[in-house]
Amino acid sequence: MPLREELEANGNWLFVRRSWLPILLYPVAVAVLYFYLDAAYPKITDLVWCVICLVVSLLGLVIRAITIGFVPLGTSGRNTDGGQVAEVLNQKGIYSTVRHPLYLGNFLMWLGLFMYLSIWWFVVICSLAYWIYYERIMIAEEEFLRKKYGSTYELWASKTPAFIPDFSLWKSADLSFSVKNVLKREYNGLLAVAVTFSIFNVTAHYFYDEAFKLDCFWQVVLIISSILFITLRTLKRHTRVLHVEGR
């Protein structure tokens, strides 16, 4: 199989599993924490460092929110089993500055978590693994869009960076920003981040103190994110409060 088709096939395989495959990094992170505990523990329990790492992850969530807030129905979704979906080609809003804003957001969310362990070679390795992993997914997505939208896609892609935004290219989106659309589609991101930080914090304390303990900062973050998750999930599943026509 030619390399281009092989990369596309690999990307499609990874695409439908992208919601859970990164979780395989968890046991690796725990192992790194165990073997490099003396170096990691002081940072993991330092409040300033906790805030810095959380802010990096939240920046990723903000980028995802900016993306989702402007897009119409049938684009930028979390679809997995159904494969690639793109009812229209998004070219405005954040998509006028970068072709894959959601994956940029995902990277920053994971980067904050990688940084939290304070083992810098692990941060570098995970960042490279992320790039290899998502590069194939991006190739598959771009091949799908190229086949569906042809020259329209080629023109947009030729002037829009793949991963590092160029804000000088900004064009206002056709749709107004929808907070409801963000809350409806992204309500689980904050909880996932809070749970992962908390797992790392508890694990560090268990390895170091041989006791289950969660620092107060992460207790607050976890409680707030859990309340938001339960509230928004309930609203989405049992009401039409978050419904936005055409989103």
174-196 tens-digit pLDDT: 889 999 999 998 989 999 999 99
Question: How many Cβ atoms sit within 10 Å of the Cβ of residue 243?
Answer: 12
- Residue in this structure with the two tokens 């390399």, named with its chain if needed: 3
Task: Classify residue 177 by its DSSP letter.
Answer: P
For 200-223, what is the HEC assignment? HHHHHHHHHHCCCCCCHHHHHHHH
pLDDT confidence of 76, banded at 50, 70, 90?
A: low
Domains and CATH numbers, the chain: 3-176 (1.20.120)
Measured CA distances, 176 to 67, 99, 180, 183 (Å):
12, 20, 11, 15
Measured CA distances, 6 to 70, 142, 169, 199 (Å):
33, 14, 32, 37
What pLDDT is recorded for position 2? 64
Q: What are phi and psi of 93, to 5 degrees?
A: 65, -140
Q: Which two tokens stand for residue 76?
A: 């930028």
pLDDT confidence of 153, banded at 50, 70, 90?
A: very high
> In angstroms, how far is CA 116 from the centroid of its own chain?
16
In this model, does residue 80 exceed pLDDT 60?
no
Of 90 and 220, the one with more pLDDT: 220
In this model, does residue 126 exceed pLDDT 90?
yes
What pLDDT is recorded for position 95? 95
Q: Considering only CA atoms, which of 27, 160, 45, 4 is closest in space to residue 53?
A: 45
- Of the listed ranges 8-12, 88-92, 162-166, 229-233, the one predicted with least confidence: 8-12
193-236 tens-digit pLDDT: 999 999 999 999 999 999 999 999 999 999 999 999 999 999 99
